[in-house]
């Protein structure tokens, strides 16, 4: 963790995981739809990463503070979903 990863999004679930993770931490600019945009984004990200060691620490903190690392939030959402399934619905 600490080095941004550029991703080329595709149609399959596996090819969309990187896009989902990057969007969750506010780095949607690193998600590309074409090979040309991928190359440009990779070159830009490499230049930025090499120029600043602080960006590595900032990325770690960004991920830690993102919804990806919100275990309590995920648990609440799961509990709410289970309660919604369990509660009887009107008219049944």
Dump pLDDT digits (tens) for 12-21: 887 789 899 8
DSSP 4: -
State if pTM tops 0.75.
no
Round to whole Å and give the CA distance between 21 and 10. Answer: 14
Residue boundaries of the structural domains of the chain: 7-86
Predicted local confidence at residue 18, as pLDDT: 87
State the residue for tokens 């941004």.
Answer: 4
Instruction: Give residue-wise pLDDT tens across range 30-73.
Output: 899 999 999 999 888 777 766 555 666 777 888 888 888 999 99
CA neighbours closer than 13 Å in the CB half-sphere of residue 90: 0
């Amino acid at each position: 963790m600490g080095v941004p990863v550029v991703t080329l999004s595709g149609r399959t679930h596996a090819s969309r995981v990187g896009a989902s993770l990057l969007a969750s931490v506010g780095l949607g600019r690193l998600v590309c739809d074409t090979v040309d945009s991928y190359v440009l984004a990779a070159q830009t990200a490499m230049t930025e990463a090499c120029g600043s060691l602080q960006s590595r620490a900032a990325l770690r903190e960004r991920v830690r503070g993102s919804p990806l690392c919100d275990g309590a939030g995920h648990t609440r959402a799961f509990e709410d979903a289970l309660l919604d399934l369990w509660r009887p619905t009107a008219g049944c």
